[in-house]
Structure 1
Amino acid sequence: MNRRVATWLVAMVPLAMASAAHGETLRQALIHAYRTNPSLTGARAGLRATDEGVPIAKAAARPTLSATADYQEFVVRSANSFSAPLRAANANANLSFPLYQGGRVKNAIRAADARVESGRANLRFTEADLFTAIVSVYMDVLRDSAIVEFNQQNVAVLETNLQASQDRFEVGDLTRTDVAQSEARLSVARGQLELALAQLDASLENYLRFVGLPARDLEQPPALPGLPRSPVEAVSLAIENNPQLIAAEADAKAARYDVRVAAASRLPRLSAVASGGYNNYLGTLTGNLPGRVFQQAQTTATIGLSATIPLYQGGLPAAEVRRANALESQALEQTIFVERRVVAEVRAAYSRYQATQVVIQSSQAAVAANELAVEGVRAENSVGTRNVLDVLNAEQELLNSRVQLVTARRDAYVAGFTLLAAMGRAEARDLNLFGGTLFEPGFSRPSVSGPMLMEMNSSSASDGRIEFVPTPAARDAEQGPPTVGADER
C-alpha cells in the first residue's frame, strides 16, 4: 500500500475507534449500514409517511365534531329594533356521521392498504439493493488489496531481476539488451502498481460511502448458502419473493381501488347530522314593548339527515374514472414489465454465477501451472537454456493469472449475492444480522423505537460471521396490512 493510502487510513483511525463497529467483517459492515445508511433510513421515513395514508382514508368514515364560540359587543344598535342587547356570547356544536358514501371511503382505505404493502416491498428492495452494493464494495476492497499486493511483489521481484541482470552484464554474462528488457518490464510494473493503488483508493472511498466507516483489515466473507440448483428454481423463487414484483402488484391493486373511488363520485351521499347552540346576552337584552320579559339565555338542538345527490358536475366524474382506468392499465403493464425484468435478471445472475465458478477453477489451475513454470524458467535460465525475456514473461503470466483468480472470486461472490437479492433472499431477516431484532414496518410507525436502532446480537456478532439463516421470530413479527372495519364505508 502506497503512502497516499497509508495517510488516508491514519486519518480515518479516530473515526473508526469512535464507533462500535469497524467493518472488519462483512457482517459488521452490513450491520452498521443497516443502522446508519441514509438511503435506507430515508426509505424507512418514506414508508412511515405512506403508512399514514391508511388513517387518513379511515378518517372519512368516522364522525366529525366541531364547536365554535363567539363573543360580540353591539357598538351601534338599530333604532327600529324591538330588542337592543349590548353584548352576546354564543356557542355551537355540530356533529356529522357519514352513513353512505357510495363506496368511496371503503375503496380509499383498501387503496391505502395496498400502497402500504407496496411501500413495504419497496423498502425491502432498498434494503437488498444496499446490501448488494455493500457486498460489492467489500469484495472490491479485498480484490484491489490483493492486486496491490501482487503488484508490489512483482515490482520487488523485477527489481531483484534488474539488479541480477546488471551484475551479470558487468561480468559479461548478459548483453545490454537483457538489461534493457529488465528495466522496461520494471517500469511497466511500477506503472501498474500505481494504477492498482488508485483503484484501491476508489474502492476504499466507495466502501466508506456505503458503509459509513473506513475499511480496515477486512476478512474473507463466508460462503453463500441457499443458492438455487437450477435457473428454473431461481425464477420460481423470484416470482414469489422479489420485492419489486410484489410492489408492482400492490400498486396495480391500489389502482384498481382508485377506479372504484372515482366512480363513487357519481353516487349520492347520506349523513346523519346533529347540532346544538347556546346563546346568552349576558343580561343586556332589553326591549321597548311594555310588559315583555326577554330571556337572556337560550338553548337549541336539531337532528336530521343530510343527503347529497349529484345531478351535474361538469363531466368531472367521467374524466376521473377515465383517468383512473388509464392508470390501472399502466400499473398492470408495469407489473408485466417488472416480471419480465426480474426473470431476465435472475437468469442472467445465475448464468454469471455459473460462469464465474468455471473461471475460478480455470484460474486456480493457471496459477498453479504458472507458479511451476516460473520456477522452471528460472532454473533453466540459471543454466543458460532460457533467456531473461523468458523469465520476465513467465513472471508476468503468473501475475496475470493471480489477478484473474482474485477477480473471478470477487465476481462469483457478487453474482451469487445478486442472485439471492433477485430471489428476495438478501434482506436483514434472511441474513439473520441481529438475531431476530429487526426494523419491522408496523402500521403507521416502526415496531422498534428510534431510527431503526437494533442492538447487535453479542453472541453472534463477536465472531464476525454472517449466518445466512432465516429468523422465524423476525418473520412472525411482521405485521400484515390493516383491515377495513365493517363500519368504515
Structure 2
Amino acid sequence: MRFPLLVGTALVALALPAAASADTLRDALAKAYENNPTLTGARASQRVTDETVPLARANGLPNVGVQGSYTEYVLQSSNNFTSPDRAFSIGPQISIPIYQGGAVKNAVNAAEKRVEAGQANLRATESSIFSQAVAAYMDVIRDQALVALNRSNVDVLGVNRQATGDRFEIGDLTRTDVAQSESRLATARSQLQTAESRLISSRERYIQIIGDAPTDLQPPPPLPNLPASPQEAVTVALADNPDIEAAQITVDATRYDIRTAKASRLPQVSLTGQTGYVNYLGTIGSNTPGVSFAQSSTTGSAGITATIPIFQGGRPAAQVRQAQARSSQSMERLVETERSVVAQVRSAFASWQASLQVIQSAQVASDAAQLSLEGVRAENSVGNRTILDILNAEQEYLNAQVTLVSSRRDAYVAAFTLLAAMGKAEAQDLGLDGGALYDPQLNYDRVRNRVWDWDQDPAPAPQATTTVNTPAQNAQVTDDAASPMRTTPAPQ
C-alpha cells in the first residue's frame, strides 16, 4: 500500500491556525525549512551539482577565440634586408567538435543523473532536518514538564520537611524522620537542578535547529495513518525513501561514466578554422630601388582534424577499469543504503510500539501512584504510616509521571522518525506556509542550457539566519508547563 500524501493528509492538525504568541510544531518546521543552515547549504550544494551539466556539455560546443600579438625584432641578421622591425598580428580561431567517441553525450547523461541524485539527497536532508526539529521541539516540551514536576516535588518535600520539623518540636516524630525528610528534599533539589540544566540545553538546541527561541510551545498534532506493521513500513520506504532513490540514480550515472571512459579509445574529429591579419607597421624595407614590399597581409585556413588513438600507454583501459570499479562501489552502496533504511524503519517502528506500551503502563502506574500517595497520607494522619512511607510514595508518583512524560515524547519522535524513514516527512508532505517551497528543478532548468561566458549570478549572501543575538536561555517555566505532555496525543 502506498501513502502518496501520508503526512500531508494525516497531519491535518498542522494546518490549523497558530495560537497567539505561541509556537506550534508547524511554525517550528516552517522556520527550520526557511532558515536552517544545513538545509540552505544543501540547496547551494545542489546548485553546484546543477552546473556540472553545462560544464559537460561545453566540451561538445564550438570554441571561438581571438589571438593578437605585438612583436619588436630587437636583433636582426646582418644579411637579412627585408626583415621588419616590428609587427602586429590578430586573428580569430574556431574549433568545432564533430565526433568524440560519445564522450560528451555520456558525460552529459552522467551529470544529469547526478543532478537527479542530488535532488533526492536534498529531499533526504529536508527530512533529516524536520526529524531533528521535531525532536528538538518535543525535547523542550518534555524538559519543561520535567522541570515543572521536579519543582512541584521540591515544593511538596519542602512542606513535608517543615511539617516534620514542627512535629519533631512537639515530640510527635523523631530526629530520624527529620533526617529522612531533609535527605529527600536535598535529593529533589539536585534532581531539579539537573532537569533545569537539561531544559536549558534543549532550548539552546531548539535555537540551533529552528533559528528562534521557543515561545509557549503548544502540544503537537496527532500522527495518524501510521503503518500497521514493519513490513508495510519497509515496503513504502523501499519505494519512496530519498536515500535509496539517490543511491539507485547514482548507479545509473556510473554506467554512463564507463561509456565516457571507453570513448577515449575512439577517434576524435573536429573542424578547425582560423584567419589572421599581420601589419609590419611600415618597417619592411628593400635595398632595390623602386621595389617595395606589402606592409600587411591577411591569411585564412580551414580544415578537419582527426585523431586516431593507437597506443596511449594503457591509460584508456585503466580509466575504464576505474569507472567499472566505481560503478561496482555504487552498487554496493545501494545495498548498504537499503540495509540501513530497512534497519532504521524497523527500529523506529519497534521504538514507537514500545513507547506506546510504556505510555499505557506509565499511565496506569501514575494513576496508581497518585492514589497510593493520597492513601498513605491519609493513613499517616491516623498513625498507620510513617514519614518514610510518605516520602517513598511521593518519589514513586514523581517517577511514574517522569516516565509518562518521557514516553510520550519518545513515542512521538519515534513515529515521526518512522515517517521520515518511509520518505513521507518532507516539505511537500507537510504543506508548510511562508511562500512557495524551494524547487531545485527551477535552478537546474535555469542553468542547464546557458552558454554565455559572461553570465553569472548575484554575489552570494547567507540565507540562514544567525542566532548570535538570541538571548541565553534559562530554566524558567510556567505553572502549567507539564500540561502539553499530558495532552500530547500518542501516535496510533
Q: Separation in 2 of the partners of 1:118 and 1:93? A: 41
Partner of residue 9, structure 1: none
Moved more, 25-34 or 258-267: 25-34
Q: Separation in 1 of the partners of 2:24 and 2:462? A: 23
Partner of residue 300, structure 2: 301
Partner of residue 91, structure 1: 90
The answer as to whether partners of 1:119 and 1:247 remain within 8 angstroms in 2 is yes
Partner of residue 203, structure 1: 202
The answer as to whether partners of 2:32 and 2:211 remain within 8 angstroms in 1 is yes
Q: Separation in 2 of the partners of 1:348 and 1:42? A: 29
Q: Describe the SS at the equivalent of 2:440.
A: coil
The answer as to whether partners of 1:22 and 1:29 remain within 8 angstroms in 2 is no
Partner of residue 161, structure 1: 160
Q: 1:296 to 1:93 in 2, by over 3 A?
A: same
Task: Summarize the alignment of residues 372-411 of structure 1 with structure 2, pairs less than 5 Å apart.
Answer: 372-411=371-410
Q: Separation in 2 of the partners of 1:261 and 1:122? A: 24
Task: Summarize the alignment of residues 335-484 of structure 1 with structure 2, pairs less than 5 Å apart.
Answer: 335-434=334-433, 437-442=436-441
Task: Summarize the alignment of residues 87-236 of structure 1 with structure 2, pairs less than 5 Å apart.
Answer: 87-236=86-235
Residue 281, structure 1, aligned to residue 280, structure 2: yes
Moved more, 341-350 or 121-130: 121-130
Q: Separation in 1 of the partners of 2:464 and 2:373? A: 54
Q: Describe the SS at the equivalent of 1:219.
A: coil
Q: Separation in 2 of the partners of 1:121 and 1:41? A: 15
Q: Separation in 1 of the partners of 2:85 and 2:345? A: 82
The answer as to whether partners of 2:22 and 2:218 remain within 8 angstroms in 1 is no
Cα distance, 1:96 vs structure 2: 0.9
Q: Separation in 2 of the partners of 1:83 and 1:97? A: 38
Q: 1:255 to 1:23 in 2, by over 3 A?
A: farther
For 1:30, give the aligned amino acid. L
Q: Separation in 1 of the partners of 2:137 and 2:123? A: 21
Q: Deviations over 1:159-204 (max 9, x none)?
A: 1112222222333333333222222221211121111112112212
Moved more, 438-447 or 427-436: 438-447
Cα distance, 1:113 vs structure 2: 1.0
Residue 49, structure 1, aligned to residue 48, structure 2: yes
For 1:426, give the aligned amino acid. A
For 2:274, give the aligned amino acid. S
Q: Separation in 2 of the partners of 1:380 and 1:442? A: 71
Partner of residue 63, structure 2: 64
The answer as to whether partners of 1:22 and 1:28 remain within 8 angstroms in 2 is no
Q: 1:208 to 1:99 in 2, by over 3 A?
A: same
Q: Separation in 1 of the partners of 2:216 and 2:401? A: 21
Q: Separation in 1 of the partners of 2:445 and 2:176? A: 72
Cα distance, 1:232 vs structure 2: 2.1
Task: Summarize the alignment of residues 251-330 of structure 1 with structure 2, pairs less than 5 Å apart.
Answer: 251-330=250-329
Q: Deviations over 1:320-357 (max 9, x none)?
A: 11111111111101101111110111111111111111
The answer as to whether partners of 1:23 and 1:214 remain within 8 angstroms in 2 is no
Q: 1:23 to 1:72 in 2, by over 3 A?
A: farther
The answer as to whether partners of 1:440 and 1:446 remain within 8 angstroms in 2 is no
Q: Separation in 2 of the partners of 1:292 and 1:266? A: 56
Cα distance, 1:291 vs structure 2: 4.8
Q: 1:132 to 1:112 in 2, by over 3 A?
A: same
Q: Separation in 2 of the partners of 1:50 and 1:288? A: 66
Q: Deviations over 1:438-470 (max 9, x none)?
A: 11113656989976699xxxxxxxxxxxxxxxx
Q: Separation in 2 of the partners of 1:331 and 1:443? A: 28
Q: Describe the SS at the equivalent of 1:228.
A: coil
Cα distance, 1:141 vs structure 2: 1.1
The answer as to whether partners of 1:363 and 1:404 remain within 8 angstroms in 2 is yes
Moved more, 118-127 or 99-108: 118-127
Partner of residue 452, structure 2: none
Give aligned pairs, total: 434
For 2:70, give the aligned amino acid. Y
Cα distance, 1:29 vs structure 2: 2.2
Cα distance, 1:290 vs structure 2: 5.0
Q: Separation in 2 of the partners of 1:153 and 1:76? A: 100
For 1:212, give the aligned amino acid. G
For 1:233, give the aligned amino acid. E
Q: Describe the SS at the equivalent of 2:126.
A: helix
Q: 1:452 to 1:224 in 2, by over 3 A?
A: farther
Q: 1:206 to 1:153 in 2, by over 3 A?
A: same
Q: Deviations over 1:265-317 (max 9, x none)?
A: 11110111111111222333332345544223322221111000111111111
Q: Describe the SS at the equivalent of 1:274.
A: strand
Q: Separation in 1 of the partners of 2:332 and 2:221? A: 40
Cα distance, 1:434 vs structure 2: 2.4
Q: Separation in 2 of the partners of 1:365 and 1:446? A: 58
Partner of residue 14, structure 1: none
RMSD: 2.3
For 2:51, give the aligned amino acid. E
Q: Deviations over 1:77-114 (max 9, x none)?
A: 33333523333221121111111100111111111111
Q: Describe the SS at the equivalent of 2:301.
A: strand
TM-score relative to the length of structure 1? 0.83
Percent identity over the alignment? 53
Partner of residue 6, structure 1: none
Q: Separation in 1 of the partners of 2:173 and 2:61? A: 97
For 2:365, give the aligned amino acid. A
Q: Separation in 2 of the partners of 1:179 and 1:418? A: 48
Q: Describe the SS at the equivalent of 1:164.
A: helix
Unaligned 5+ runs, structure 1? 1-20, 455-489
Cα distance, 1:391 vs structure 2: 1.6
Partner of residue 474, structure 1: none
TM-score relative to the length of structure 2? 0.83
Q: Separation in 1 of the partners of 2:153 and 2:402? A: 12
Q: Separation in 1 of the partners of 2:27 and 2:92? A: 59
Q: Separation in 2 of the partners of 1:178 and 1:313? A: 93
Q: Separation in 1 of the partners of 2:368 and 2:78? A: 117
The answer as to whether partners of 1:23 and 1:29 remain within 8 angstroms in 2 is no
Q: Separation in 2 of the partners of 1:289 and 1:426? A: 91
Q: Describe the SS at the equivalent of 1:442.
A: helix
Q: Separation in 2 of the partners of 1:164 and 1:321? A: 85
Cα distance, 1:259 vs structure 2: 1.1
Q: Separation in 2 of the partners of 1:290 and 1:264? A: 61
By relative contact order (CA 8 Å, sep 6+), the higher-ranking structure is 2
Q: Deviations over 1:209-234 (max 9, x none)?
A: 22222223222111124422322221
Q: Deviations over 1:37-64 (max 9, x none)?
A: 2222222221111111111000001111
Unaligned 5+ runs, structure 2? 1-19, 447-456, 466-492
